[in-house]
Amino acid sequence: MSKSAAIVSSIPQLEKICADADHIYGVGFDSGRDMEDFLIRLMAYKPGWLTFLYKVRGVLAGVMGLKHDEFMDHGLEVSDYDFNRGGKVDFFDSVDFKADRFWIGAAEDKHLIGYIGVVSEPASAGLHHYHVFTIVHYKHWTGPVYFNLIRPFSHLVVYFMGKHAAKE
């Protein structure tokens, strides 16, 4: 069993979401930051290049008839993020959360459901190892069309979000 598969299997909520997923991507980061700080930095990461990509996504969303809000205008300040089940974190709904262990958020549209998951494990020298996952379930034929167009960018965004969150 791979390390990522073992991590997924260790959290029943994450294992359930991963079952029958159409796409799963994971990347790991070591950091001295605690889970709450890592999550806030991960979700608050919005550099200029990401704002530009989101505007490009708006064109694609318009063509495909998908929801598209203004980037960074989801009605929440970072201080309002609620990682607890039922809370809101940017445009994600908090699905489940166990402090210092994991958080799962979901964003749903007519074409797919996208999840982001973060799992924390102790690492050497007082560090934490954070596994950041994205999980996608298609709901409509437009799901794979849309996601395969944005997938390379999605992977880059998740990588740089995690890198930013982990940075000391």
For residue 97, give Cα distances in angstroms to 26, 86, 147, 157.
18, 10, 26, 22
What pLDDT shows up at residue 76?
52
Q: When comparing pLDDT for 138 and 150, which is higher?
A: 138
Place of tokens 């709904």: 93
pLDDT tens track for 49-66 = 888 887 887 777 777 777
Instruction: Calculate mean pLDDT across residues 1-15.
Output: 80
Instruction: Calculate mean pLDDT across residues 109-132.
Output: 94
> Given a cut of 90, is residue 18 above it in pLDDT?
yes
* Chain centroid, CA 151 distance in Å: 13
In degrees rounded to 5, what are phi and psi of residue 26?
-140, 150
> Given a cut of 60, is residue 1 above it in pLDDT?
no
| Domain-wise residue ranges, the chain | 30-71+78-166
What pLDDT shows up at residue 46?
85
pLDDT tens track for 86-110 = 999 988 999 999 999 999 999 998 8
> Given a cut of 80, is residue 154 above it in pLDDT?
yes
